[in-house]
Amino acid sequence: MFELNSRQPKLVLMVDDDPLQIEFGRTLAARAGYRFVGADCGRAGLRAAREARPDVILLDYVMPDLTGKQVFEEILRSPDPALRNTPVIMLTAQSANRDEQRRLLDAGLAAYLYKPFGYHELLNVIDNVLVLSRMRERNRILETQARQSFVATARMLVTLLFAKDPCTAEHSNMTADLAEAVALKSGLNEQDALLVKLGALLHDIGKIGVPENVLCKPGALTHEEMALMRLHVEYGDDALSGVPHMGEVREMVRYHHEWWDGGGYPFRLRGAEIPFGARLVSVVDAFDSMTSDRPYRQRLPRAEAHRRLRAGAGTQFDPDLVESLFDTLSTYEPRRERSIDLQFLEGLAVV
């Protein structure tokens, strides 16, 4: 658990080989109501940082064993996230190398304080850095909560879809795996490919709103039933409209029945007007539908599915993505496990 409002006074660790500076720091901490630990060299400072768990670390730059920079770099490499996130203030001479100072600030150093400094200057820096550190900690907590709620929302949607229609569920599952592979083959990075995977998993989420007698009808749909079925795109789009961080996924849901030549629905977009993820889901969705059994028909032989995809390249499908799909299928090994695996959601850097 995070402790944002610990009532215990904050602990200041000062690492300096000058005993007068340590005494100065100790006096200041006592007056300001902080607890204080002093260390007279870099190694002792590192040990104290690991054992005493300070709230802020004051590091002298020039020390005989390890420099302040080396101690700071050790802190950054620490396996303990609490120590890595402890704010560090470097105590240094005015004449210090400015480029290096900037590099250390970029690496996460909280502040510099130039020697010689007085009581008020040191106290000001410590107070400011502690306030900043508390804000960062709050942000970290909020980010964690936002991630958790995103993953929970995605899980909830998938669970509902799977409960409503196991047939759609299995299709979405297979489509998701294959869509991720095609996305990687098309040059997307891992994160974008995972987003495509989530989009493919949820592309038919709006089918939750389609009556079951239409959704599971063991035969061709009438004109009216087809119109109802087509509404799944809008239902899905509406369902995701208020969910944070679902922008790209929502595009895949909204546009996955658009056609490359403008003959699709609901907006009759064409070509590159259709977002890439939606074009990709469209091709993979069609392939998986053709090669899976349906209540109203048996699966097509693979060669026939390939022939139909090739025939649809440039009319229904983005021709480049049809090629990417064929490339992918030439080496693709589908997962044997048919059950849904949502573990990949943890790897999505959405927040």
What residues make contact with Fe ion under the rule CB under 5 A? 204
Give the CA count within 13 Å in the CB-facing half-sphere of 272. 0
Q: How far is the CB of 204 from Fe ion (least distance, A)?
A: 4
265/259 Cα distance (integer angstroms): 7
- Which residue, judged by CB position, is nearest to Fe ion in the bound state? 204
Shortest gap between Cβ of 312 and Fe ion (angstroms)?
Answer: 16
CA distances from 22 to 13, 68, 110, 128 (A): 10, 15, 20, 21
Contacts with 251 (C-beta within 8 Å, 6 or more apart), sequence order: 199, 275, 277, 278
Closer by beta carbon to Fe ion, 75 or else 210 = 210
Alpha-carbon gap, residue 68 to 115, rounded angstroms? 14
Question: From CA 231, how far away is CA 136, in angstroms rounded?
Answer: 44
The first and second tokens of residue 20, run together, are 């007068």
Instruction: Write down the H helix ranges in the chain.
Output: 19-32, 42-52, 68-76, 81-84, 98-107, 119-164, 166-185, 190-202, 212-215, 223-230, 232-240, 247-255, 276-290, 302-312, 319-329
68 C-beta neighbours (distance < 10 Å), count: 26
Of 204 and 248, the one with the shorter C-beta distance to Fe ion is: 204
Instruction: Give 48 or 202: the residue with its C-beta nearer to Fe ion.
Output: 202
Output 231 or 351, the one with its CB closest to Fe ion: 231
Task: Please report how close the Cβ of residue 256 comes to Fe ion at its closest, in angstroms.
Answer: 6
From the CB of 198, what's the least distance to Fe ion, in Å?
Answer: 15
Closer residue to Fe ion in complex, CB, 19/166: 166
Backbone angles phi, psi at 317, to 5 degrees: -115, 155
Residue closer to Fe ion, measured from CB, 16 or 288: 288
CB of 135 to Fe ion, least distance (A): 44
The residues pairing with 58 across neighbouring beta strands, listed in sequence order, are 14, 89
How big is the chain, counted in residues?
A: 351
Nearer to Fe ion, 42 or 199 (CB): 199
* Least Cβ distance, residue 201 to Fe ion (angstroms): 12
> How many CA atoms lie less than 13 Å away from 123 in the CB half-sphere?
13
Q: In the complex, what is the shortest distance from the CB of residue 175 to Fe ion, in angstroms, rounded to a whole number?
A: 10
